[in-house]
A and B are shown apart, each in its own frame.
Chain A
Amino acid sequence: MAFLDLEELTQDEKLLREEVHRFAEEVVRPASIELDRMPAKERVKPDSPFFKVMKQMKRLEYHKILIPHEKGGLQLTPRQAYIFWEELGWGSTGFATALGVDMIPFTVITYFGSKQAYEELVEPWLKRDDWIGCWGVTEPEHGSDYLIMLREEESLVEKMGRGNVVAEKDGNEWIITGHKSSWVSAAPVATHCGLHAQVKEGKTLAHGLFCVVPLNLKGVAKGEPEDMLGMRDCPQGWVSFDHVRIPEHYVVVAPGPFYGIFCDQLLCLTSVTVGAFSVGLARAAFEEALKYARERVQGGAPLIKHKNIKLKLYEMFEKVEVARAYVRKAMEYTYSRLYKGTFDASPRHARAAQIFAKKVAYEVAHDALQIFGAYGLHKEFIVQKLFRDARSLLIEDGTVEVLSLEAADDIIENYEKEYYNAESITRRFQEYVTEIEQKERR
Chain B
Amino acid sequence: MSVVFPSKKWMDELLKKINSDEQYRKVAATWEGDYLLTVLLDEEALKDFQDPEKMAGLISMLKTLPPDKWAKFKGRPEEKLFEKLGLKLDEIVRDPSVLDRVDVNELAKKMASIRLEEIRGAALYLWMDFWHGEFRRFEVVAPGEKMEAKFKLTGNYSLYKQIVQGKVEVIPLVISGKLKLHGDLGYMLRNMAAVKRFSELLASIPVK
Which of A's residues lie within 8 Å of B, judged by CB? 112-115, 249, 251-258, 261-262, 340-344, 419-423, 426, 430
A114 to B162, CA, bound (A): 13
Name the contact of A114 in the complex, choosing from B172, B180, B190 (C-beta under 8 A): B172
B2 on interface, CB distance cutoff 8 Å: no
User: Contact at A419–B190, with CB atoms within 8 Å?
Assistant: yes
A257 to B11, CA, bound (A): 30
User: Contact at B171–A341, with CB atoms within 8 Å?
Assistant: yes
Which of B's residues lie within 8 Å of A, judged by CB? 168, 171-172, 174-178, 180-182, 184-186, 189-190, 192-193, 196
A262 to B182, CA, bound (A): 16
A421 to B177, CA, bound (A): 21
Q: Closest A residue to B191 by CB, please name it.
A: A342
User: Contact at B175–A344, with CB atoms within 8 Å?
Assistant: no
Given the known interface contacts A340-B192, A341-B196, the answer about A249 and B186 at a Cβ–Cβ threshold of 8 Å is no
User: Contact at B172–A422, with CB atoms within 8 Å?
Assistant: no
**Which of A115, A255, A257 is packed against the most chain B CB atoms within 10 Å?**
A257
User: Contact at B175–A422, with CB atoms within 8 Å?
Assistant: no
A343 to B175, CA, bound (A): 12
Given the known interface contacts A114-B168, A251-B176, A252-B176, the answer about A341 and B185 at a Cβ–Cβ threshold of 8 Å is no
Extra 12 A-B pairs, beta carbons < 8 Å, given A257-B181, A420-B189 = A112-B172, A112-B176, A254-B177, A257-B185, A258-B175, A340-B193, A341-B192, A341-B196, A342-B193, A419-B190, A422-B186, A426-B184
Given the known interface contacts A113-B172, A115-B168, A426-B184, the answer about A344 and B189 at a Cβ–Cβ threshold of 8 Å is yes
A253 to B176, CA, bound (A): 5
Kindly list chain B residues whose C-beta atoms are within 8 Å of the C-beta of A421: 186
User: Contact at A112–B190, with CB atoms within 8 Å?
Assistant: no
Kindly list chain B residues whose C-beta atoms are within 8 Å of the C-beta of A423: 184, 186
A158 to B163, CA, bound (A): 38
A222 to B175, CA, bound (A): 29
Given the known interface contacts A115-B168, A423-B184, the answer about A342 and B175 at a Cβ–Cβ threshold of 8 Å is no
User: Contact at B177–A112, with CB atoms within 8 Å?
Assistant: no
Kindly list chain A residues whose C-beta atoms are within 8 Å of the C-beta of B193: 340, 342
Q: Closest B residue to A421 by CB, please name it.
A: B186
Q: Closest B residue to A422 by CB, please name it.
A: B186
Kindly list chain B residues whose C-beta atoms are within 8 Å of the C-beta of A419: 186, 190
Q: Closest B residue to A341 by CB, please name it.
A: B192
User: Contact at A256–B177, with CB atoms within 8 Å?
Assistant: yes
A397 to B62, CA, bound (A): 54
A253 to B171, CA, bound (A): 11
Kindly list chain B residues whose C-beta atoms are within 8 Å of the C-beta of A257: 181, 185
User: Contact at B184–A112, with CB atoms within 8 Å?
Assistant: no
Given the known interface contacts A114-B168, A426-B185, A430-B182, the answer about A262 and B190 at a Cβ–Cβ threshold of 8 Å is no
Given the known interface contacts A341-B171, A342-B192, A420-B190, the answer about A261 and B176 at a Cβ–Cβ threshold of 8 Å is no
A342 to B191, CA, bound (A): 8
Kindly list chain A residues whose C-beta atoms are within 8 Å of the C-beta of B185: 257-258, 261, 422, 426
A255 to B177, CA, bound (A): 7
A253 to B186, CA, bound (A): 17
Kindly list chain A residues whose C-beta atoms are within 8 Å of the C-beta of B178: 254
User: Contact at B189–A253, with CB atoms within 8 Å?
Assistant: no
Q: Closest B residue to A253 by CB, please name it.
A: B175
A340 to B191, CA, bound (A): 11
| CB proximity of B147 to chain A, nearest CB, Å | 15
Kindly list chain B residues whose C-beta atoms are within 8 Å of the C-beta of A340: 192-193
| CB proximity of B24 to chain A, nearest CB, Å | 17
| CB proximity of A210 to chain B, nearest CB, Å | 9
A428 to B180, CA, bound (A): 16
**Which of B171, B177, B186 is packed against the most chain A CB atoms within 10 Å?**
B186
15 examples of A-B residue contacts, CB within 8 angstroms:
A112-B176, A114-B176, A251-B177, A256-B177, A258-B175, A261-B186, A261-B189, A340-B193, A341-B196, A342-B193, A343-B192, A344-B186, A344-B189, A421-B186, A422-B185
A253 to B178, CA, bound (A): 10
| CB proximity of B120 to chain A, nearest CB, Å | 13
A115 to B178, CA, bound (A): 14
Q: Closest A residue to B174 by CB, please name it.
A: A258
A426 to B188, CA, bound (A): 12
| CB proximity of A273 to chain B, nearest CB, Å | 21
Kindly list chain B residues whose C-beta atoms are within 8 Å of the C-beta of A112: 171-172, 175-176
User: Contact at A262–B196, with CB atoms within 8 Å?
Assistant: no
User: Contact at B168–A422, with CB atoms within 8 Å?
Assistant: no
User: Contact at A252–B192, with CB atoms within 8 Å?
Assistant: no
| CB proximity of B23 to chain A, nearest CB, Å | 15
A426 to B151, CA, bound (A): 13
Kindly list chain A residues whose C-beta atoms are within 8 Å of the C-beta of B180: 256
A419 to B174, CA, bound (A): 22
Kindly list chain B residues whose C-beta atoms are within 8 Å of the C-beta of A426: 184-186
**Which of B168, B174, B185, B190 is packed against the most chain A CB atoms within 10 Å?**
B185
Kindly list chain B residues whose C-beta atoms are within 8 Å of the C-beta of A430: 182
A115 to B163, CA, bound (A): 13
Q: Closest A residue to B185 by CB, please name it.
A: A426
A420 to B171, CA, bound (A): 18
Kindly list chain B residues whose C-beta atoms are within 8 Å of the C-beta of A249: 176
User: Contact at A254–B175, with CB atoms within 8 Å?
Assistant: yes
User: Contact at B177–A343, with CB atoms within 8 Å?
Assistant: no
A420 to B185, CA, bound (A): 11
Kindly list chain A residues whose C-beta atoms are within 8 Å of the C-beta of B168: 114-115
A-B pairs, top 4 by smallest CB distance, nearest first, are: A254-B177, A422-B186, A342-B192, A426-B185
User: Contact at B176–A113, with CB atoms within 8 Å?
Assistant: yes
Kindly list chain A residues whose C-beta atoms are within 8 Å of the C-beta of B182: 430
A252 to B178, CA, bound (A): 11
Kindly list chain A residues whose C-beta atoms are within 8 Å of the C-beta of B190: 342, 344, 419-420
A16 to B193, CA, bound (A): 31
Kindly list chain B residues whose C-beta atoms are within 8 Å of the C-beta of A252: 175-176
A435 to B178, CA, bound (A): 18
A340 to B181, CA, bound (A): 21
A340 to B192, CA, bound (A): 8
